[in-house]
Structure formats: C-alpha cells, structure tokens
C-alpha cells in the first residue's frame, strides 16, 4: 500500500491526515541533545551520517510520525559553495558575506558542491535502508531567496535588510547570487533524490518579506525553476514548497511554483486556506508551534479545528513553523493522538 504522505501528495483526501513536524529532530528532545553532545556541535552532527541518521530516526521511534525529514541544514549549501559557516551558541548561524561581483566570482562551481555534501547523501542512504516501510523520507533545501538572505548578511536578520539593500543597489550581483543558488539547489536536491529521498521540500522561510513583483521574481520564479528541473529528472517525486509568511499571496502558489503541496504557516487561518489554497491542491500545516509549549485543551481544540477545516481535501498535518527548544515532548504526543483520533 502506498505511504499515506505520498497519497496526500498525489491529491487524495484521507479520513485522517498524515502527520510530521518541522524540526521534529531537535533540542526539545533529550535524546537529540545527547547525540548532539556526542557529535560535538551542530555542524559536526550534520556531517556525520551515522549520527545524523540517528537523530532523524529518534522522533520516528518516539512518536511514529508518517514522515522523517533528513537531518541537515539549509546553510550547508552555501558552505559547499565556498562560504565560511559557523554557529554561535544561543545566537545562530554566521557566514562570510557576499556583496560584490568579486565575492560572487570566488564561489565554487556547482559541480564541486558534492565534495562537501557527500555525507548528506550518505545520511539519506542510511535512512532509506532503516526507516520503517510506512514512513516517507523527505529531503530538503532552502529556497534561493532565503539562502541568499543569509549569504548576503552573514547571519539571520529580522527584516532581511541587507538582502533587500543589495537587491536595490547592485541588482546584477543579487540576481547572479539567486541564479547560482538556484542551479546548485537543483543538483543538491537531485542527488538527495538519487540517494533515496521520496519527497523534497523547499523552505522559503523569509518569502514573506518580498512584496509585489519581488515575490514573483524572487520567491515564486526560483522555486518554479527548481521544481521544473526536478520534475524533468525525477517525474515521480513530489515537491512541497513553503513560502512562509506569504499571507494573501499564498493564493495561486501551486500553479505558480508547480509544487505538489504548499506548506502554510500559522499567519493564515485554516478556514481561509481551505477555501483559497487547498482548493488548488494539497496543503500542509498549520498549527502554531506555541501550542507545543503550552499544551492543554487549547492544543486539542486548535488541532481539531485545523483537521476539520482541511477535511474535504488533501492535507498533511504539520506545525506552521519549526518546534522550539522549550516545547514539551508530551504535547507532541497529545497533538498526534488528537489528529489520529479525528477521523
């Protein structure tokens, strides 16, 4: 029997939605913190195929999610392209910056990225062998705009100001960077698929800061280019796109990107999204991740409301964004139980 997530992605309406959770392998789990300690630090964990596979499997063993997401990070691709990357504890990622043509020219050609990324493909191979037969393996990459915001600023920024500034002040370098990331991402995801990923997801975490034509040019178009190229090479592999923060601009994103499923953040209501987005194809989402911290009856009520709103079309249950380190693992179990008893 086909795996539930693949059935939803093919457009089937299921009696209860399949479920997985963004950042399901992460610091809220004591077993993750233990394995991360064994690896030394976050990047060493990403590049250690045995330990990265182990942390990917931990939430599957604990909760029986319907999908596992490869444990890696969207910033490994910039590193593979030659950027310096490190993580400052308690603060987040730091990268060497790209703001000039000379820095753009110094990036490695896309044919060289696999040297760095080979351990990631190894992780996928291990997972593909070890996952339970009913569990779908999801690979992923960052969308070009989101990855570019980190490469330009050298860190996460609240408003993506440096990327917007480069877009205004040196369009050629900005567009050149978007093109380089787009082409490298196609090859990166294609290698993940060849290694065993059954679905890929494109995370555009900062899509919401792109307005009007910029949203079309730098969120929708690069994702559409990636989807088109992947569909040509791997016609049977579904793609999930996550233009986080798109708001009203979520309408039409299935057609504009070619993605099989659109992931929704919790900035839109499930009722609105059912009428305006799910009407065009499968959706994923969108419980606010704060419920994983607060739990209780509100978690149950909100979970039921979302399941009900999306009941008449293809839906994969998920959070609106990643689970946070202060979440209570018991609340995750409560969410899953609520979803599975909602039929």
Residues of the shown chain interacting with ligand CP3 in the complex, contacts defined by CB under 6 A: 22-27, 36, 42, 69, 71, 73-75, 92-93, 140, 142, 156, 203, 205, 322
The DSSP element (H or E) to which 316 belongs, if any, is strand 315-319
8-state DSSP, 281:
S
155 a catalytic residue = no
Catalytic residue among 28, 32, 36, 250: 36
CB of 256 to ligand CP3, least distance (A): 20
Q: Is 276:251 a contact under the CB 8 Å cutoff?
A: yes
Minimal distance, residue 70 CB to ligand CP3, in Å = 7
Per the residue annotation, which of 7, 27, 94, 304 is the catalytic one? 27
Catalytic residue among 23, 47, 66, 188: 23
CB atoms within 10 A of CB 165: 14
Beta bridge partners of 136: 67
Please report how close the Cβ of residue 13 comes to ligand CP3 at its closest, in angstroms. 26
SS3 content of the chain, % helix, strand, coil (to 5): 55, 15, 35
| Contact in structure between 322 and 23 (CB atoms under 8 Å) | yes
Q: Which is nearer to ligand CP3, 318 or 338 (CB)?
A: 318
Bridge-based pairing of strands 67-69 and 136-142 is parallel
Known catalytic residue at 250: no
Q: Would you call 311 a catalytic residue per the annotation?
A: no
Residue closer to ligand CP3 by CB (options 135, 205) is 205
Among residues 237, 244, 279, the alpha carbon closest in space to that of 259 is found at: 237
Cβ of 191: how many Cβ atoms within 10 Å? 18
> CB 252 → ligand CP3: shortest distance, Å?
22
Minimum gap (Å) between residue 36 Cβ and ligand CP3: 5
With respect to ligand CP3, which residue has the nearer C-beta, 40 or 92? 92
Classify residue 293 as exposed, middle or buried by CB count within 10 Å of its CB (0-12, 13-18, 19+).
middle
Q: Among residues 220 and 240, whose Cβ is nearest to ligand CP3?
A: 240
Distance (Å, whole) CA 273 – CA 287: 13
The closest residue (CB) to ligand CP3 is 205
Strands (DSSP E) contained in 22-157 are 67-69, 85-88, 92-95, 136-142
- Beta carbon of residue 332, minimum distance to ligand CP3 (angstroms, whole number): 12
Cβ proximity to ligand CP3: between 24 and 303 the closer is: 24
Annotated catalytic residue, options 121, 150, 188, 250: 150
- Toward ligand CP3, which CB reaches closer, 274 or 332? 332
Active site residues: 23, 27, 36, 73, 150
């Amino acid at each position: 029997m086909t795996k539930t997530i693949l059935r939803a992605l093919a457009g089937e309406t299921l009696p209860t939605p399949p479920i997985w959770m963004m950042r399901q392998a992460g610091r809220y789990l004591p077993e993750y913190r233990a394995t991360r300690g064994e690896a030394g630090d976050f990047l060493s964990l990403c590049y250690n195929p045995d330990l990265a596979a182990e942390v990917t499997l931990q939430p599957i063993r604990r909760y029986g999610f319907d999908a596992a997401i490869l444990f890696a990070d969207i910033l490994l691709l910039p590193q593979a392209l030659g950027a310096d990357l490190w993580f400052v504890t308690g603060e987040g990622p730091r990268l060497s910056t790209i703001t000039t043509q000379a820095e753009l020219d110094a990036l490695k050609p896309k044919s060289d990225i696999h040297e760095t990324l080979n351990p990631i493909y190894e992780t996928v191979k291990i997972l593909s062998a070890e996952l339970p037969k009913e569990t779908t393996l999801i690979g992923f990459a960052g969308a070009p705009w989101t990855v570019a915001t980190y490469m330009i600023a050298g860190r996460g920024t609240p408003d993506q100001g440096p990327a917007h500034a480069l877009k205004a002040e040196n369009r050629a370098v900005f567009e050149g960077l978007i093109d380089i990331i787009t082409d490298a991402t196609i090859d990166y995801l294609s290698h993940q698929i060849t290694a065993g990923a059954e679905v890929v997801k494109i995370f555009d975490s900062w899509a919401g800061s792109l307005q009007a034509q910029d949203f079309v040019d730098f969120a929708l178009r690069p994702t559409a280019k990636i989807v088109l190229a992947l569909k040509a090479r791997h016609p049977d592999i579904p793609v999930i796109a996550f233009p986080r923060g798109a708001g009203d601009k979520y309408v039409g994103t299935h057609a504009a990107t070619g993605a099989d499923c659109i992931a929704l953040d919790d900035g839109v209501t499930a009722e609105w999204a059912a009428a305006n987005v799910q009407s065009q194809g499968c959706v994923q989402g969108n419980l606010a991740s704060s419920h994983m911290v607060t739990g209780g009856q509100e978690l149950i009520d909100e979970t039921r409301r979302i399941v009900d709103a999306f009941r008449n079309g293809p839906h994969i249950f998920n959070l609106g964004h990643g689970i946070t380190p202060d979440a209570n693992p018991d609340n995750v179990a409560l969410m899953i139980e609520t979803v599975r008893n909602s039929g």
